[in-house]
Amino acid sequence: MKTYSKITAIAVCSFLFFSTSCQNNGDGGQSDTNDSTAAMPAEAEHVAITAVDTSPQFKDAQLAIASVKAEKAGADSAKVTFNFNVKNYELKQQTSDAGNKLCSNSDKGQHIHFILDNMPYQALYEPTNTITVANNSDHILMAFLSRSYHESLKTKGAALVYHFSIDGKGNLKKLAVPSTPMVFYSRPKGDYIGKDTSNVLFDFYVWNTTLSPDGYKVRAQIHNESGRDTAIVMTEWKSSFLHNLGMGKSFIILTLLDKDNKPVEGPNTQAMRHFNLAAQEPMQ
């Protein structure tokens, strides 16, 4: 089982403030258009952020849980199977503008991002997934529909959060979803090689809140082993591209901030993810 540990903030040597006007509901309300521009760093060697061009909209796409079943798996764990209902959205189909995005794209097509406990997601190309979790454990699942290039659908009904526990006998109990603001990390993730290092998708999912310049915000602290450390504060929930990250090992610390720019307390308000960039194979 993966458990949380306290994340130590990295030192920030440059600061970008990304402020835009359109606000979306954290539970998927309203449209996920990306039509505003981002602040750019003064020097090319610093990390840059730009808005993702407007992507195809799937306003009627729906994701829901059809069933959840747990069964005992050994003496101290349980297998949990999730079955999903997907409506008005085709899994395994290439998103129509995938060739124009010039970023990492799944050759398997559109899929579901399955994020358990804010750890790296599993990409589901079929509407089902079985996981193994420890007995006497508590978990929060975030799942949302994703375009083939891993950009989330932020429209109402395209995402869900499911809270559950497993008791000492491997039985599942559905729990109330926290009503507090949460943020779930999605991209970047994994390895980026060659041309995929130029436009690296930065995406996350907010829940139970909106983002605004005078309200909740999301801070991304970006570190690359080349020394390109940057902080970005998002005041609008939208997808972006990161540029000039540098090659090698990188990580991002994602933190939900309150109106006073202080970290929010509570479940799923901070996450950290490692990823790698290389000009060519093999990945070092």
- Locate 69 and state its tokens: 């079943």
Q: Decide if 60 contacts 153 (C-beta within 8 A).
A: no
Decide if 15-56+180-278 and 62-175 have a common fold: yes
**Residue 103, token pair as written in the block:** 């970023």
Q: What does the DSSP 8-state code read for residue 49?
A: E
Q: Which CATH class is domain 62-175?
A: mainly beta
Q: What is the pTM of this model?
A: 0.84
The yes-or-no verdict on residue 40 having pLDDT over 60 is: no
CA-closest candidate to residue 10, choices 275, 281, 241, 272: 272
How confident is the model over 191-210, as pLDDT tens digits?
Answer: 999 999 999 999 999 999 99
Question: Is the Cβ–Cβ distance between 207 and 27 less than 8 Å?
Answer: yes
What is the per-residue pLDDT across 239-262, written as a single tens digit (0 to 9) for each? 999 999 999 999 999 999 999 999
- pLDDT on residue 227: 83
pLDDT band, residue 46 (cuts 50/70/90):
confident
| 106: pLDDT strictly greater than 90 | yes
Task: Please answer whether residues 121 and 115 qualify as being in contact, where contact means their C-beta atoms are separated by less than 8 angstroms.
Answer: yes
Q: What is the mean pLDDT of the chain?
A: 87
83-96 per-position pLDDT tens digit:
999 999 999 999 99
Tokens in use for 265? 């307390």
- Indicate left, alpha or beta for 262 from its phi (over 0: left) and psi (-120 to 50: alpha): beta
Which H or E element spans position 271?
Answer: strand 270-278
Q: Domain extents for the chain?
A: 15-56+180-278, 62-175
195: tokens are 């041309």
The CATH architecture assigned to 15-56+180-278 reads: Sandwich (2.60)
The gap from C-alpha 74 to its chain's centroid, in whole angstroms, comes to 32
Instruction: Give me the mean pLDDT over the 142-163 stretch.
Output: 98
